[in-house]
Each structure stands twice: as C-alpha cells, then as structure tokens.
Structure 1
Amino acid sequence: MVRTARFSEHCFIEAATHLVAEGGPAAATMQAIARRVGAPTGSIYHRFESRSAILSAAWNAAYASFTGALAPLLREGRAREAALAILPWSSKDEHRARFLLLHEPVTLFEDAPPPAPVREELERLEEAFDSAFRACVAARGDGSVREEELARARFLIFDAPIAIIRPHLLKGGPLPPFVERMIDELHAGLPIAATPDQGIRPMAAA
C-alpha cells in the first residue's frame, strides 16, 4: 500500500502565509512554519529547498487568488467592479490579504531570491494580469492605451482601494461600509479615459 504524505506543500504554504500576516516576514522562520503545521522541521526541506522557496510559493498563491478575483472583471472592461472586488476578496481570506497587501516582495526575499521555477511562475501570473489590466484600459477609451490612462487606472483600480483598506487590514476585523462608498466616489469623480483637452485639475487647498 502506498503511504500518503502526512504534511502537504499546501499545509506549509498556508502556515507561512498566516505567520507573515500575523507577525511580518521575520515571524516565518522554517522552525516556526514547522511548529504551526505540527511537523518536524526536516519535513519542510523534503518539499521546499529554502525559506525563500516557501515564502515565494506563498506569495504566488496569494497573488493568484487576488488576480483570479479581479482579472475576469478587467477583461470585461469593468474597472469599478474590479476595484470593488478587492473588498470581498480581502474579507474572505484576511490572512492572505494581509500577507499580500501589507508586505513587499523585497522584504520577503531579502535573504535570498526565489528559486527560478517559482519566479518564472510569478512572471507568468504578472503577465496575464497585466494583459487583463491593459485590455480594461483599452475598453474604457478609444482602444488605445495611453500612459495617462494607465496611471489613472492603476490608481483607481489598485493603488487607491488598497491604500483605503490597509489601515483596516492592520487593525483586523470587518471593513467599514464607507470603504465601498469611497471607491465608488473615486470612480465617479475620475474617469479612466480622459478626453484629449481634459487637463489635470489642481487639488483643492485644504
């Protein structure tokens, strides 16, 4: 009879994700990951060659989950809905959201770069997501993709919504209702596709 592995790669990836979400990258040592799973430390090395390997696998899993929630909406040109989709995604899996949205890759991989296969997988994920993003921008305008429209779209779909929810991810608990309203108002006030003679309006004085 074939003996099945007691501890799967998924178990270690989930443990690493939770540890980073709760205590930052420094909390996700190999020993801490093993303790979280209830496995001997040596069993991790049967599946991951290094700490960098398991953290990069966790990053890819979180990033794939995030892009999976947004990319279908982006391909349909639904920029506002894509931005709002960040809210249920982050509420459904708060640990994964904290892992991805509160940390930068440079802090996760400062000890060593990710192994080549994991890095290549991330590049494939990023290329696919960028393609969906650019398709969304093109669909909202005249079919072209101008630098200004890319900047507007990044701000409206990613930068602003993530900046709005970050303080609440740090505190924990449900997102307040006004977060959705703020994202709605941003999209109503700043369209992605600007007309050629539409200048940038100065910010009102505080």
Structure 2
Amino acid sequence: MVRTARFSEDDFIDATMALVAEGGPAAATMQAIARQVGAPTGSIYHRFESRSAVLGAAWNAAYGSFVKALAPLLREGRPREAALAILPWSRENERRARFLLLNEPIALFEDTPPPAPLREELERLENEFDGAFRACVAGCGDGTVRDEELARAKFLIFDAPIAILRPHLVKGGPLPLFAERMIAELHVGMPIAATRDGSMRTVGAA
C-alpha cells in the first residue's frame, strides 16, 4: 500500500513565510518550521536539503506571485495600475506580502545561498520582472530608457507604494483605505519619461 505524504512542500513554505513575517529571518529555523507545521523535524529534510533551500523556495513563491500580479500591467504600459495592484495583492496575500515586502534576500541568505535550481528560478523571475519594467518605461517615453526615468519609475511604481504600506504591514491588520488615494496622487502630474519632442508625458492618469 502506498503511503500518502502527510505534509507537503507548500505546508513548509507557508510556515516559513509565517515565521519570517512575524519574527524575521532568524525565526525560521528548520526546527521552528517543522514545529509550525506540526511535523517532525526529519520530515522537512525529506523535502528540502537545507534551511536556505526552504527559504529560497518561499522567496520564489512569494516573488513569483508578485511578478504575476504586476508584470502584465507593466508590459501594457500601465505604471499607475501596476503600483495600485500592490494593494489588492497585499490584501489577498497578507502573509506573502509581509514576508516579501518587509525583507531582503541578502538578509535571508546571509549565511548560505539557496541551491542552484532555486537561484536560477529567482534569476528568471528577476529578468522577467525587469524586462516588463523596462518595457513600461520605454513605452512611456520615446523608446529610450534613461537612468533618470528608471529611477523615477522605480520610485512611483514600487518604492513609494511599498513605503506607504510598510508600517501597516509591520503592524498587521487591514491596509488603510487612504493608501490607494495616496498612490494614485503620486502619479498625477508626475511624468515618468520624456516624449520625442522633449516635453514630459504624464502617464497613468485617468
């Protein structure tokens, strides 16, 4: 008779996100992850070779979900909508949002990098997201991607919205209703790129 596995990889990934979201990277030891799931410690090693492996899998799962939500809007040249999409994504994926937006990979993997397949998957996701982001910036101007425009777009689409959300993600609970208004107002009258005639093009306005 084939014995069905009681605990899945997703169980351990979800537990890892929860521990890091609540207590930071140091909270996600292999023993703590197994305890969070209610599994024996040995069970996690049947699925992940190391702590960096389960952290890497958790990061890729959260980041992949984030990319899936925003990249299509970026490719369509809709920077304001991409920035605003961070809100529903964070509401629908509270644990992933706290794990992803309150941490940096360097802190998660300061001791040991994740195994090669996970690093390759992260690189693929980063390239996909960067390509969509650059296409958005290029599409908002004359097709040339300038450093200033990249910096402006990064601030408007990612840095500012995440900064608005961060205090509320730290506290937990519902995100404020005013966050959407603040993010939208940032994009009103703030051009990302110049048009061919040198004038500044406002993007994302209704």
1:70-89 matches, within 5 Å, as 70-89=70-89
Q: Distance in 2 between matches of 1:110 and 1:151?
A: 27
Identity within the alignment, %? 80
Matched with 1:36 is: 36
| Unpaired segments ≥5 residues, structure 2 | 201-206
1:1-206 matches, within 5 Å, as 1-194=1-194, 196=198
Moved more, 59-68 or 106-115: 106-115
Measured against aligned partners, the alpha-carbon deviations of 1:141-177 in whole angstroms (never above 9, x if no partner) come to 1122111111111111001100111011011111112
Cα pair 2:142 2:194 within 8 Å, conserved: no
Q: Distance in 1 between matches of 2:170 and 2:132?
A: 29
Give the C-alpha shift of residue 189 in structure 1: 3.1
**Runs of 4 or more above 6 Å deviation:** none
Cα pair 2:20 2:27 within 8 Å, conserved: yes
Give the C-alpha shift of residue 20 in structure 1: 0.4
Q: Distance in 2 between matches of 1:197 and 1:140?
A: 12
Q: Distance in 2 between matches of 1:167 and 1:189?
A: 26
Q: Distance in 1 between matches of 2:136 and 2:163?
A: 21
Give the C-alpha shift of residue 182 in structure 1: 0.9
Give the root-mean-square deviation of aligned CA atoms. 1.2
Give the C-alpha shift of residue 139 in structure 1: 1.2
* Count of residue correspondences: 198
TM-score (norm 1): 0.93
| Unpaired segments ≥5 residues, structure 1 | 199-206
Give the C-alpha shift of residue 197 in structure 1: 6.9
Partner SS for 1:189? coil
